[in-house]
Amino acid sequence: MKKIYTLAAFALSFLAFATNHAVSVVNNSYSPATLAIAVGDTVTWTQVNGVHNVNGSTSTYASNPASFGNGAAAGGTWTYHYVFTVPGSYQYQCDPHASFMTGSITVTAAAMTVTPCTEFFISEYVEGSGYNKALEIYNPTGATKSIAGYTLALFSNGATTTTNTFVFPAGTSIAAHGTYVIAHGSGVAALLAAADTSYGYPNVVSYNGNDAVVLLTPTNDTLDIIGIVGDTVTNWTVGSGSTKEYTLVRKVAIEKGQLDWASGATEWDV
């Protein structure tokens, strides 16, 4: 399997699994209206009928630890996903029906489930000049593993909904302790030569240092995060560098994905 750089072999690791929670937007209500979830969990709202939205912005609820929401109210059938990466108590509403259509979510720090690692994580992040951008995914297990159906999701410029995704195609596997590299199709020749796949703009590696990246299982469980979804910054500091115009390589001692960026930002060599 090709690599951007030669990475040391990692030991088997341990990983906490996240959960996807479903909320129906139906009959002028959120069902369920109250959730208790863990950091890294995803909440998926699906509208069944009516004209509604999800508004959990800090401008509406100043005590919310972070903003989330899908914009203006809309009819028809829509789905909105948000990954909660900051613990705390959240409130949200449907703007046209704010007097009675509300919801609440309590997010607690994810408990670590200590089991032999069976899942992928992001092992390298390249954010260079121009279009020299790439992501490397690592298989920490001792056997070839299918990554078909897994997703890399990009949340650009503080967005709380995905701006681009890459779904690993059917038949794609990563060898034991191997990697898979996705590069921007307009990168330099040396970068493209190291890539397993590349494609043009817009793509999941069209980031500029202030765009969160999330790795998800085929069932939308969160495995790994770079940055903070919904955070409107110019970049995130990482060691002596940042997520803007640096290459970040996961430290050899790191053996699992990270759901909390406060800890995740310490896990990279710059």
Could you tell me if 241 and 153 lie in one domain?
Answer: yes
In a domain, residue 211? The reply is: yes
Could you tell me if 186 and 250 lie in one domain?
Answer: yes
> CB–CB of 122/215 below 8 Å?
yes
In a domain, residue 202? The reply is: yes
Phi-psi region of 196 (alpha: psi -120 to 50; beta: other; left: phi over 0): alpha
Condensed to tens digits (0 to 9), the pLDDT of residues 143-187 reads 999 999 999 999 999 888 889 999 999 999 999 999 999 999 999
CA distances from 71 to 14, 52, 53, 105, 168 (A): 37, 10, 7, 19, 29
Last residue of a domain, one of 49, 75, 108: 108
Condensed to tens digits (0 to 9), the pLDDT of residues 130-148 reads 999 999 999 999 899 999 9
Please state the φ and ψ torsions of residue 263, each to the nearest 5 degrees: -85, -40
Condensed to tens digits (0 to 9), the pLDDT of residues 197-250 reads 999 999 999 999 999 999 999 988 889 999 998 888 999 999 999 999 999 999
Could you tell me if 82 and 135 lie in one domain?
Answer: no
What total number of domains does the chain contain? 2
CATH no. for residue 33? 2.60.40.420
Condensed to tens digits (0 to 9), the pLDDT of residues 42-93 reads 999 999 999 999 999 999 999 999 999 999 999 999 999 999 888 899 999 9
CA distances from 123 to 81, 93, 135, 185, 264 (A): 25, 38, 8, 20, 12
Could you tell me if 166 and 259 lie in one domain?
Answer: yes
Condensed to tens digits (0 to 9), the pLDDT of residues 5-21 reads 333 222 222 233 468 89
DSSP, res 181 = E
CATH no. for residue 264? 2.60.40.1260
Could you tell me if 32 and 71 lie in one domain?
Answer: yes
Last residue of a domain, one of 47, 77, 108: 108
Could you tell me if 252 and 157 lie in one domain?
Answer: yes
Tell me the one-letter amino acid at 229.
V
In 2-42, alpha helices (H): none
Could you tell me if 92 and 50 lie in one domain?
Answer: yes
In a domain, residue 11? The reply is: no
In a domain, residue 5? The reply is: no
| Percent of the chain whose pLDDT exceeds 90 | 74
In a domain, residue 148? The reply is: yes
In a domain, residue 125? The reply is: yes
In a domain, residue 6? The reply is: no
Could you tell me if 166 and 191 lie in one domain?
Answer: yes
Q: Which domain holds residue 101?
A: 20-108
The residues, any chain, with a CB within 8 Å of residue 235's CB and separated by 6 or more, are 209, 210, 242, 243, 244
The residues, any chain, with a CB within 8 Å of residue 14's CB and separated by 6 or more, are 112, 113, 114, 115, 116, 117, 255, 256
Could you tell me if 86 and 196 lie in one domain?
Answer: no
pTM of the predicted structure, to 2 decimals: 0.63
Could you tell me if 95 and 143 lie in one domain?
Answer: no
In a domain, residue 10? The reply is: no
pLDDT band at 110 (very low <50, low <70, confident <90, very high): low
Last residue of a domain, one of 67, 82, 108: 108
Could you tell me if 235 and 148 lie in one domain?
Answer: yes
Could you tell me if 93 and 135 lie in one domain?
Answer: no
